[in-house]
Structures are given as C-alpha cells and as structure tokens.
Amino acid sequence: LTKENSSKINKLSIKVKETVDKKIITDSWHTSFSKARTQVYKGIKMMGNWEVEFAKLLDEKDIKWIYTNDKFDYVYENKIHKYNPDFYLPEFDTYIEIKGYPTKRDYAKWSTSNINNLNIFFGDDLLKLGLNLDVKLKGYEKVPDKFRIKNQELLNKLKDR
C-alpha cells in the first residue's frame, strides 16, 4: 500500500460515509445501497450480513425460523404499501425485523401495520447478543422503547450463550 493509494482509499471512505449519512438523513436509504448487500445463507437470499448472522444465531440456539414472505399493509405518505418482516419464529409466534438505521418509513411500517407480535432488533441489540458486526453505535439511543424488543422469553434464550 503506497502513501498515494492510502490517501485515495481514505478519501473514498470519507465520501462513502458522507453518502450513506446523507441517504439516512434524507430517508432514501432503502432504495439504494441496502439492496446491493444481498447475501445467501442456506440457499436463502437475505438482505445483508446482519440478517445472515442473526439466522446463524437462531440455528445455534435451535430456534426454528422462516425467512418470511408474509406481507402486511402499512400507510406511508397517505398511501398503502406492503411490508414484510425478515423472520418468523413459530416457537414464539413472533416476527423479527433486523434493522440498521430506522427511517421515517420504518417507523410508519411499525406504527401502522397490524403486526402485534413484531420484535425489532437494532444494531446495538445485535451487539448485546454477541454478534460480531460492523456496527457504529450512532443514533440507536433515539429509538423509542415502544419499537424495542418485546418478547423477553426470546431475548433470554438468545442471550444464553
């Protein structure tokens, strides 16, 4: 690695960070970068490393999971949209959403869909479970408690390492 290459990589890293931060602030995160991070685990396409690592944790804990296609209506900007959580856990009768950076659209999904048994795991929650993720703990303290994990039995089973 030359000094010139190192400088270019550093500048590129700063530009990428600025672009991602801007997309989060302008609520356009969902329509770009995140869709390009598709990964496959057990033959299933998942939207990113965090979902894959969470599925591995569920497997480690012998928790049956389904990468769901269940769809729920929600209202955003006065229009009805479809939302599908990431996982369904039959043993706990609960849906799971793995969420990096919550946006206004996410809060609309969680507030206006009729999913009573939804548990959302944010980056800081995943770290507390011992998952090794590239997470910067920025902004999670602002997530209202009503959107945090509700199923204590599930949380206890996941923490039992």
Torsion of CA 12, 17, 23, 27, to 10 degrees: 170
- Model's pTM, two decimal places? 0.74
For residue 45, what pLDDT is reported?
Answer: 92
Q: pLDDT tens for residues 42-90?
A: 999 998 889 999 999 999 999 999 999 999 999 999 999 999 999 999 9
Q: pLDDT tens for residues 98-123?
A: 987 788 899 899 988 888 889 999 88
